[in-house]
Amino acid sequence: MGQNHPFDKATQLTEETPGVYKGHTSEKYANMIGPFGGVIASTLLRAVLEHPERLGEPVALTINYAAPIADGDFNITATPTRTNRSTQHWYIVLSQNAKTVITGTAVTAQRRDTWSTTEIAFPNVPAAENVALPSIEGAPPWLQNYDIRIIKGAPLALSQTQSNNAHDSTTLQWIQDNPKRNLDFLSLTSICDAFFPRIWVRREKMVPIGTVSLTIYFHADSETLKMNGNREVLGHTRALKFYDGFFDQTGEIWSYDGNLLATTSQFVYYKE
């Protein structure tokens, strides 16, 4: 893993003792309040990937955002709670000032060559170069680190029209790191959170939101991710239900040539 790209600097960890790491928030990946949740999820996953006892590669990750992260230093502890023949289960905690802020679980595994198929179809979309870049003037700093080209379902603030007349919350978008960076598990994790909140699309206005829990299932190994290089990936997401202050957000991330790389879901708090 290189350390010169802004993303790698933002997720950089210093090992204190085996499984205990120190990190620091990045101004480049700041959100409206605190850091961008995707880069925090990637940082917790990095603690697992850099652990000397780690077995295999990530297949599942869940991050629970228990409290806002303050700008500054933080500590991460990654603990392998159970190691089996081919799978390993992890518990991860991010703390500040001796208080738990983020908790997470992960599963790593050694995959075996066996029957595989993809049931869901790759969306019919125009190529990334044929989709215009929206203006993100005044947007939070983290957005400056991504090239996002929205095919369908832009928030009203980024829409080229007065109203999307949104009847659903579906978004299709091409996305890649800016500057370009080769895809790996860490950048894929962050990209899984790089969608605008579904309620902003459906309600066509910005309301206060906060992710409560984010889950990612990885459907590719590191060699498959390398094949994508630094090319864009396609994100497809939608909400299934908004109910009394919370909504879900489910999605897929596809390689530029149509390989399903990850599926993701999150539960989000909102206030109207």
Tell me the H-state helices in the chain: 6-10, 37-49, 185-191, 198-203, 222-228
What is the average per-residue pLDDT within 256-270? 98
Q: Work out the percent of the chain whose per-residue pLDDT is above 90.
A: 89
Give mean pLDDT, residues 121-131: 97
Given the structure tokens 């390993």, which residue do they identify?
A: 88
The whole-number average pLDDT for the span 122-144 is 92
Q: What's the number of CA atoms in the CB half-sphere (13 Å) around residue 96?
A: 14
pLDDT at position 1 is 45
On whether the CB atoms of residues 261 and 219 are closer than 8 A, the answer is: yes
Rounded Cα gap, residues 176 and 184, in angstroms:
12
- Where on the phi/psi map is residue 158: left (φ > 0), alpha (ψ -120 to 50), or beta? alpha
What does the pLDDT average to over 44-66?
98
Q: Does the pLDDT at position 162 exceed 70?
A: no
For every residue of 85-146, DSSP letters joined together read SSEEEEEEEEEETTEEEEEEEEEEE----------SPPP----GGGSPPPP-TT--GGGGGE
Mean pLDDT over 123-133 rounds to 96
Q: What angle do CA 5, 60, 171 make, to 5 degrees?
A: 70
Of 13-27, 160-174, 253-267, the least confident: 160-174
Provide the residue type at 36 as one letter. Answer: F
Q: Show Cβ contacts of residue 128 under 8 Å, excluding neighbours closer than 6 positions.
A: 149, 174, 232, 256
The model's pLDDT over 82-114, given as tens digits with 9 standing for 90+, comes to 999 999 999 999 999 999 999 999 999 999 999
The distance from CA 25 to its chain's CA centroid, rounded to whole angstroms, is 16
What pLDDT is recorded for position 135? 82
Q: 194, 144, 204: which is closest to 174 by C-alpha?
A: 194
> Helix, strand, coil shares of the chain as percentages rounded to 5?
20, 40, 45
Q: Could you tell me which of 236, 248, 235, 171 has the C-alpha nearest to residue 209?
A: 248
Q: What is the pLDDT of residues 193-237, one digit of tens each?
A: 999 999 999 999 989 999 999 999 999 999 999 999 999 999 999
